[in-house]
Chain A
Amino acid sequence: MPSPSDIEKVFEWINKVKKFFEPFKPEFRDMRINYRTSKSEISLALHISNSLKRRIAKVEIPAYQNFVVSEMIDESFSRVQSVWRFDHGKWILSPSILPASEKYLVKLKGEVPREILLNMVRIQPAQNRDQTPELDKYWLDSMIRDVDFIEQIYKKLEIDEVNLAVHVGVQRCFSTTFPKEMKEVLEASQRWTRAGYGRDRSEIQRAWSNLRKVTGASKIQVGDIIQAIYELTLGNIFAEYLLLDLPYSLGEIKREERFMGLFPEKMSVEACADLNLKQPFATGYLTFKKKEYMKKIEDFLSGLRK
C-alpha cells in the first residue's frame, strides 16, 4: 500500500511549482498519470488579472525534477503560444505579453517515481494460458490498491495505460506447423556444414549429395524459414491474431527472445487499461487466435513452395 511519504513524492515537484504561482491563485483541475511511461500531467487553473500582468514583470520557476510546461490555454480555449521559455534550467513567463484573458489553464508534465506507481496499482496476468483447439486465453487483473491515496492526490486522478505484459508462447505454433520436409532440409544442411568443418572427405561428399537430394525435392531454403519466422512475428502482423476484452486495449507487441538471435520463443504483448476512481479495477482476457495464426504460417510457407 502507498505510504504518506509516497504522496509527498508524487507531489514534490507540483507543490514547489504551485508556490511560484501563488499570486495567480492556482487551483488543481485534474491529474493524469501514465502508468506505462511514469509520466504525470497536471492541470492548474490560474487567475491572472490585468493589474497583476502590469505589476509582475516575470515569473521564473526552476525545472524541479525536469518538469515541463506543456500547454497554456486561455478562457476562450485557445492555446496561448510562445509565452513560456526555458532558459538555464528555469521556466520563464512574462505576464505582460499574455492576451486579454484573465483565466488560464496551464498544463505541466513531470514524472512519478516507478516504485510509487507500483504501490498505487496492482497488476497481474495469468501465468499459464487456458486453451481450446482454436484459442489460447490469459486472464488479466489490475486494481487500484488504495482509493483514499488516489483521492488525496486529486479527485480527478486518472491512471492511464496501466500495462500488463503477457507472454504469449509462439514457438510451438511454428514447430508444429513447419512441414516435415523443412526439418529434413535443416538436418541435411546441418550435416553438410558439420562435415565441412571436419576432415573426413568422404563424409563431405556424402553429406553434399544428401543435401542436394533433399533440397532438390523441396523448394524451401533455410533462409526462407528464418524469413517466415521473422515476418510472422512482426508486431503489426501478430496483432491481427489478438483480442482484448474491454477496458483493455493493445499496447506494444514485441518478440521476446531467449537468446538475442532470430528465434522468438514468446511474444510479449502489452495489455493496457485506464483506471480511475470510478473504475478502480479491470478484469478481462487476452485471447490469442492460434489456429488462425498457424493457418497464416501455413499459407506463408505454401507461398514459398510455389
Chain B
Amino acid sequence: MSKVDISGYIVPWALPNEKMPMHVTWSPDVFFDKIHVKVPPSFKILDVLNVDEARLKEHEAIITRVKSLIEGVPCYFGMIISAPKIFEELKMAKKITVEFLRNEKPFYCLELYGRIFRPRLEVVKPPEEVELTDYLEKNKLPLNLRYIGFGDIELKIEATIGGKIVSVGESVVYELLRRLWLSDILEKETEEVEKVVDNDRERRKRELWVEPAYISKMAQELQDKIDKGTIPTEVLDAEAIADLKEWLSDLKTKDKFMDIIYKRTQEMLLSLLLDLFDKNPTNNVELKNAKTVIRTKIATPVTKLTLRLLYKDKMGNEYPSIEIPIQVRDTRTEAHGMLIEMPIHIEKWENEPFMNVEKMRILGETQS
C-alpha cells in the first residue's frame, strides 16, 4: 500500500450503549471509489456524517461520496457507533477497519479501536446469617463491598422476605413526613418546642439559611406524593396516609402544612448535609438512598431474607443484580409482631477503579 495522508480519530473510552463519535480525514489528493467501514458484530453503526452517498448496514458502511469536496475544506466523514450489549469483561477493545478502495482494490486500511469499559460490584464475604434480637439497636445487617472497573455507579439496596420488599430507602422527603406525622406536629405546634428553640435562638440564627424556593419544592413534592398515593406504606400505614390526605384537602390546612415545613428547614438541611456524607461512601459509588433500612412487621417466624444489590452506570445501563440469601435467626423473646427496624450498614468499601483508561493498553489492541 502506498503512503497516503489519511488519519482517523475515535473517542478513547465509552460505556456500553454510549454513542462513540469517530471521524476520518484525508488530503484532497487521495482519490478513491469507495470507503468500506467494518465494525465488529458486537458494535452497531448508528449514523454517518458529511456523507452524500452510502449504503449502511448494522456492522458495515460503504461510502461512495462524501460532501467535503470544497477547496480548502478538509475531506472527512464522521460516524457514530455504539456497543449495545453489556459485556462480561471490564475492558474491551474491538477493531474497526476503514478501507479506501480504488478500482475495487483496497489501497489503504486504517484501524481504529472502539474501547468499552464497565463497572462491577462484588460482595466481599457475603453475610450468611443475621440475628433478630429484642434489642432494637443491635439489629444491624453489615455488608462489605468492592467496586472494580470503570464508570461511576448508583447503587440501590433492597431486602425481600418471601418476595415482598421489606426495605425502605430513607429519602429526606419521606423521613420528614414520617417525623411530622409521628410527632403529632400536624395536630398542634407544641409550646415546648418554642421554649427549647428560644433557649438557643442566637445559635440557630447563625447556623442556617435556606432558599425558600427549595423548601417550597420539597413541600410540593411531598404533597404530590400524598395526593397521588405514592407514599410507601412502610413510611406511614395506609390509615395514616388516608387521614393525612383528608387533612390536606382543606386549603387552610395546606397553608399550615407549608408553614410547618418552613419551620423545619433546619432539620431538613441537616439531613441533606448528612446525606452528602453518606451517599458517597467511595469515589465511584453513589448510593440511591443514603441509608437503607429493613422496616417491617415480622410476626410469624421468618427464616430467610434476601438482599438484592442493584446498580447502574451513568448511561443508565443496569448490570446484573447481586442476590444474597441470608438466614434469619429470630431470638426475640417478646414483641413478636412489632415493627422491626434493621439498618443495612456498609461496613467496608474496597475501591479499585481503573485509572487513566485513555492510556490503558487492552488485550488485542495494537497501536495504529
Contact = CB atoms under 8 A, between A and B. Distances in A.
B284 to A, nearest CB: 8
A190 B271 contact: yes
B264 interface: yes
A221 B206 CA distance: 9
B362 to A, nearest CB: 14
Contacts, number: 171
Contact of B152 (A122, A128, A201, A281): A128
Q: How large is the interface on A (under 10, 10 to 19, 20 to 34, 35 or more residues)?
A: 35 or more
B240 interface: no
A133 B197 CA distance: 45
A278 B73 contact: yes
Nearest to B117: A128
Given A148-B52, A190-B271, A260-B214, A132 B67 contact: no
Interface-central residue, B267, B273, B356, by most chain A CB under 10 Å:
B273
Interface in A168-209: 169, 171-172, 174-176, 178, 183, 186-187, 189-190, 193-194, 196-199, 201, 204
A281 B76 contact: yes
Interface-central residue, B15, B68, B184, by most chain A CB under 10 Å:
B68
A159 to B, nearest CB: 14
A162 interface: no
Nearest to A259: B214
Main secondary structure of the interface of A (DSSP, over half): mixed
A205 to B, nearest CB: 10
Interface string B279-292: 11001001000000
Q: How large is the interface on B (under 10, 10 to 19, 20 to 34, 35 or more residues)?
A: 35 or more
A143 B267 contact: no
A130 B358 contact: yes
B13 A139 contact: yes
A199 B49 contact: no
A141 interface: yes
B355 A133 contact: yes
A280 interface: yes
Interface string B74-92: 1010101000000000000
A127 interface: yes
A186 B355 contact: no
B363 interface: no
A139 B11 contact: yes
A278 B72 contact: yes
Interface string B136-150: 000000000000001
A132 B274 contact: no
Given A189-B270, A225-B273, A197 B264 contact: yes
Contacts of B9: 283
Contacts of B78: 122, 143, 145, 281
Interface of A: 1, 122, 124, 126-133, 137, 139, 141, 143-148, 151, 155, 169, 171-172, 174-176, 178, 183, 186-187, 189-190, 193-194, 196-199, 201, 204, 221-223, 225-226, 259-263, 277-278, 280-281, 283
Given A189-B207, A261-B269, 13 more contacts: A126-B11, A131-B353, A143-B21, A143-B49, A145-B50, A146-B50, A148-B52, A190-B270, A193-B267, A226-B208, A259-B214, A261-B214, A277-B70
